[in-house]
Amino acid sequence: MKIVTIFEDQLFVFHYKDEEENEFRRLLKQWNDTTYLYQFIIQNKIDIPKGVSIQNLISELIENANDIDDILYEISTNTKKILEEFFKPLDNQEYRIVELSKQKGRKNYLRLYAIRIDENCFILTGGTIKFHHLNKDRWHTQKEMDKINKCRDFLKDNSVFDADSYYEFINEQ
């Protein structure tokens, strides 16, 4: 497991050992792949909102994936914007700043999961398509919760708790 840069000094992403690409690139490819989306929707048919056609849902997911990419790029290039505008605490009851806080960024059914290292500094851990309310109730969302916890533990095990300790860790890699 290694960490690579998406947007310098702001957004990073985990690249897992057995994956060809980092999580961000992998997810964007999946979310733009009509075959993958069709199979995912069929497998999770029970959770699809009533009255929504599969074809319209696929189109919406692809559009949302491209929107996420555009939103993150805009934030990274605009000095008046910060990543906290997109990422929010994963726990909806989290009202104070928590060390290595688990975060979510969303666009309709798409979720990106990240760990907040410091102000305007995040590491993406993964993401998913989420039709159902609770993460623990579906295997694919639970898998993402397991990944974010594993990544958080990895950072803690390497004494990362803020931006300074993070950059120190990265420079040693």
SS3 per residue for 94-160: CCCCCCCEEEEEEECCEEEEEEEEECCEEEEEEEEECCCCCHHHCHHHHHHHHHHHHHHHHHHHCCC
Average pLDDT over residues 66-94: 89
Smallest CA-to-CA distance from 61 within 49, 77, 74 is with 49
DSSP state at residue 29: H
Sequence ranges of the domains in the chain:
2-172
pTM for the model stands at 0.92
pLDDT attached to residue 94: 64
Residue 134 has pLDDT above 70, yes or no: no
pLDDT attached to residue 46: 87
DSSP state at residue 70: H
CA–CA distance, 56 with 49 (Å, rounded to integer):
12
Residue 135 has pLDDT above 80, yes or no: no
Average pLDDT over residues 143-162: 95
What's at 143, amino acid-wise?
K
pLDDT attached to residue 137: 67
**Which contacts qualify for 21-24: CB closer than 8 Å, 24 or more apart?**
22/124, 23/124, 23/125, 23/126, 23/127, 24/112, 24/124
Are 32 and 69 in contact by the 8 Å Cβ rule? The answer is: no
Return mean pLDDT, the chain: 91
CA–CA distance, 112 with 97 (Å, rounded to integer):
19
Please, what sign has the CA dihedral across residues 45, 48, 54, 57?
negative
Average pLDDT over residues 37-54: 91
Give the lowest-confidence range in 54-68, 83-97, 133-147: 133-147
Does residue 51 sit in helix, strand or coil?
coil
Average pLDDT over residues 74-96: 86
Smallest CA-to-CA distance from 103 within 162, 152, 66 is with 152
Cα angle 151-126-112, degrees, rounded to a multiple of 5: 120
- Tens of pLDDT, residues 90-106: 987 767 777 899 999 99
Percent residues over pLDDT 90 in the chain: 74
Give the lowest-confidence range in 76-85, 93-102, 112-121, 125-134: 93-102
